[in-house]
Amino acid sequence: MVGEKVKFFKALGNETRLKIVKYLLENERCACEFESMVNRDQTTISRHLKILTEAGILEKEREGKNVIYKIEDGDLKNTLRELGIDEIEPCG
């Protein structure tokens, strides 16, 4: 149980991952959309998406060639909003 919580908070302890979560609070998105949104290469984004998925924050499903990511759990969405993640402003 403690290990799961540590994994959860570690996953949120990175600016790029916080931005990804912010965008997913708005709407589900294809992995291919994040490259321009967070100004990182696809390999880096894939690594961050994997960390968020393994922490139980994101869910993914394949639609043809695309992988769609979302925050399915409504309670988790509310908690993330209460933490202010949806108010994060992009840097640069």
Domain-embedded: residue 92: no
CA 65/CA 9 separation, integer angstroms:
31
Residue 49: inside a domain: yes
Look up residue 64 and give its DSSP letter: T
Closest CA to 77 of 20, 24, 16: 24
38 part of a folded domain = yes
Counted domains in the chain: 1
Give CA–CA dist 52/91, Å, rounded. Answer: 21
- Say if 12 falls within a structural domain: yes
Q: What's the pLDDT at 43?
A: 94
User: Structural domain of residue 36, as residue ranges?
Assistant: 2-87
Q: For residue 78, which amino acid is it?
A: N
Radius of gyration for the alpha carbons in the chain, expressed in angstroms and rounded: 12
Examine residue 71 and state whether it is found in any structural domain, yes or no: yes
Half-sphere exposure of 67 (CA within 13 A, CB side): 13
pTM of the model: 0.89
16 has pLDDT over 80: yes
- pLDDT tens-place string over residues 36-90: 888 899 999 999 999 999 999 999 999 999 999 999 898 999 999 999 998 887 6
Domain membership of residue 43 (yes or no) is yes
CATH of the domain at 73: 1.10.10.10
Burial (Cβ within 10 Å: 0-12, 13-18, ≥19) of residue 13: exposed
